[in-house]
Amino acid sequence: MSAPSGHKEGAIDKWVFYPALIVTLVMGVYFVYDPAGSNAILGQLHKFTTNELGWFFLLATVAAVVFCLVLAMGRMGGVVLGDPGQKPAFSTFTWIGLIFTSGTGGSLLYLGSVEWIWIMQAPPFGVEPGSADAARWASAYGMFHWGPSAWAWYICCAIPMAYFFYIRKQKNMKVSEFVRPVLGNYADGFAGHLCNFLYMFGMIGGVMTSLALGTPLISGVIVYLAGWESSNPFLDTFVIFLWTFIPLVALIFGLQRGVSVLSEWNVRADIVMLIAILVCAPTAFILNQSVDGLGLLLQNFIYMSFVTDVLRETGFPQAWTVFYFSWWVVYALPFGLFIAKISKGRTIREVVAGGLIFGSLGCMVFYMVLPGFGIDLQMTGEADLMAAMSEGGRGKVVTTMLSHLPMSSLFIFAFGAITLISYITGHCAVGYSLAAATQEELRDDQDPAKWNVAFWLILAGAVSLGLYFINPESLKPLQTVSILTGFPLVFVIWILCQSFMKAIKQDFAEGLPAPDGQNRIWLELDAQGNGVKEPAAKPAAEPGAVAVPAE
């Protein structure tokens, strides 16, 4: 198929591309020039966001969960996000793997290993620090923060984007175009440019934050295996280089041949590692602690979703839940865009299940096995992981914990390698989404221009590396900035969801077509953009669809 008329193949939208680039570089220079001053200012802004606006993020997250459930359980859940007769672009296993690995990254591994320590040291609701109750809440809150509430943000963005891309045949993946049904002509002006900018800048800050958080952990694993005393700038440079280079190679091969293969192996490695740890560690304790934490979560899910603890003034919901929810908002649009791109041929109900069920369960298993093992070592006195945290940081906790397993060096090597691969697969989603959002036009069978993908991956790596060497602390303000963009992005996501509901009502004013024998609803628009009441093709289930599992 030839390039769309009037646009050069792979051309960028300058109103999206250059503002995000310029502001990122300017902010980076400022953080390096005055790290103390920028930290102080952003610290106050972050405190205001998490404390004064905590209620807002909690209510918005609950609304996102409800929106996804209403879509899945209603008649609209059967809508197929693709052409009549469209087979899913990926097998079920590969598709679920792409969803899971794009939305988690290596953060799941290192936070699953260490987050329980921070929560046990400063537990919620006035619980005694270091106690058994503190350990129970540490298990429950880890699963809560990475559960359906988190994935609802991704999915409530993915579904509208997939509808506009696959049903309305939108020719690009810019946020301003997704919100056009509500903004109208304002999508071409300041309001549209602002939506695009917030999307881009929040994502750039988020990926640099991941680079800053994950590099010391992976470097620490290499240091342990090599028998060195400490990390060094050359090692950190090498790790950041891997983060930049490997996703670049994977994305050059495309989604089908590159990213999907990497994702499949990542999921398989995750499964093998978790089973191995569960078998070699105190299995009974981990399973009992996990079931106990899951029960505590289910019993208190609604309360945990709304609690601000304002009277006790513990600050726990603000430091953890509100922080996490604002973090998920920042990643929601780009990861939602990536999920939309890989979900061609899937029903809305399948997309909701892929995130809220399979994505959540995958994360929760990590937060069962890794904290369960660590808590056992801490409570029995076999290892003081809290002391390891204060002495050597996250990397020290991981190596100390895994050193209590048989063939510990093998486990530590595998953990470091899988963490690196997990970050790389998440980085692939980031690079793809940044490039897709800056491209002038993009067909549903087309990937972003390779040079565009390469540019954003190299920019993130180069700026992160520069900030790291000039002043490692200068990466922290960038993290805060990315979280601060979560507040306005909530409104962008709300407009996106409203645009989707408005668009589908306009397109099918007389109601949706009747479902086929598999309870799927095939949508088709005519040349004038009006919904066809009875699409020509209503095929039987195809291999790869959830109704007939591919694997």
Place of tokens 């049904």: 181
Whether the CB-CB separation of 383 and 401 falls below 8 Å is answered with: yes
Q: What is the pLDDT of residue 438?
A: 80
**Is pLDDT above 60 for 10?**
no
Task: Name the average pLDDT for the chain.
Answer: 81
Q: Which helix (H) or strand (E) is 298 found in, with range?
A: helix 283-306
Integer Cα distance of 385 and 387 in angstroms: 5
Q: What is the pLDDT of residue 396?
A: 83
Taking Cα atoms as reference points, which of 415, 498, 488 lies closest to residue 114? Answer: 415
Taking Cα atoms as reference points, which of 381, 382, 361 lies closest to residue 290? Answer: 361
Q: What is the pLDDT of residue 536?
A: 60
Sheet strands (E) in 96-181: none
Integer Cα distance of 464 and 157 in angstroms: 28
pLDDT one-digit tens code per residue, 488-498: 899 999 999 99
**Is pLDDT above 60 for 538?**
no
DSSP assignment of 8-23 = -TT-B-HHHHHHHHHH
**Is pLDDT above 80 for 465?**
no
Q: HSE, CB side, 13 Å, CA atoms: give it for residue 504.
A: 27
Integer Cα distance of 228 and 145 in angstroms: 35
Confidence of residue 462 (pLDDT cuts 50, 70, 90): confident
Query: What is the share, in percent, of the chain residues with pLDDT greater than 70?
Result: 83
Structural tokens at position 226: 């090599």
Confidence of residue 250 (pLDDT cuts 50, 70, 90): low
Q: What is the pLDDT of residue 2?
A: 36
pLDDT one-digit tens code per residue, 270-329: 889 999 999 999 999 999 999 999 999 999 999 999 999 888 778 899 888 988 898 889
Residues 437, 439, 443, 445: what is their CA dihedral angle, to the nearest 10 degrees? -80
Whether the CB-CB separation of 511 and 172 falls below 8 Å is answered with: no
Q: What is the pLDDT of residue 6?
A: 47
Q: What is the pLDDT of residue 540?
A: 43
Highest mean pLDDT among 1-5, 377-381, 471-475: 377-381
Least confident of 43-47, 480-484, 542-546: 542-546
In DSSP terms, 64 is beta-bridged to none
pLDDT one-digit tens code per residue, 19-57: 777 877 777 677 667 767 777 777 777 777 777 888 999
**Is pLDDT above 80 for 146?**
yes
Least confident of 237-251, 252-266, 327-341: 252-266
Q: What is the 3-state secondary structure (H, E, C) of 476-489?
A: HHHHHHHHHCHHHH
Cα three-residue angle 125-128-129, rounded to 5 degrees: 105
Phi and psi angles of residue 390, each rounded to the nearest 5 degrees, phi first: -70, -30
Integer Cα distance of 74 and 349 in angstroms: 9
Integer Cα distance of 535 and 551 in angstroms: 29
DSSP 186: G
Whether the CB-CB separation of 136 and 292 falls below 8 Å is answered with: yes
Q: What is the pLDDT of residue 550?
A: 31
What's the one-letter identity of residue 433? S
Whether the CB-CB separation of 33 and 474 falls below 8 Å is answered with: no
**Is pLDDT above 50 for 547?**
no
Contacts of residue 424, Cβ cutoff 8 Å, sequence gap at least 6: 242, 243, 246, 247, 250, 262
Integer Cα distance of 115 and 388 in angstroms: 13
Cα distances (angstroms) measured from residue 395 to each of 7, 218, 383, 541, 549:
48, 7, 15, 47, 40
Q: What is the pLDDT of residue 543?
A: 41
Give Cα 542 distance to the centre of its chain.
29
Query: What is the share, in percent, of the chain residues with pLDDT greater than 90?
Result: 32
Integer Cα distance of 503 and 506 in angstroms: 5
Q: What is the pLDDT of residue 159?
A: 96
Taking Cα atoms as reference points, which of 135, 144, 143 lies closest to residue 116? Answer: 135
**Is pLDDT above 70 for 549?**
no
Give Cα 335 distance to the centre of its chain.
6
**Is pLDDT above 90 for 375?**
yes
- Rounded to the nearest 10 degrees, the angle between the axes of helix 190-226 and helix 408-438 is 160
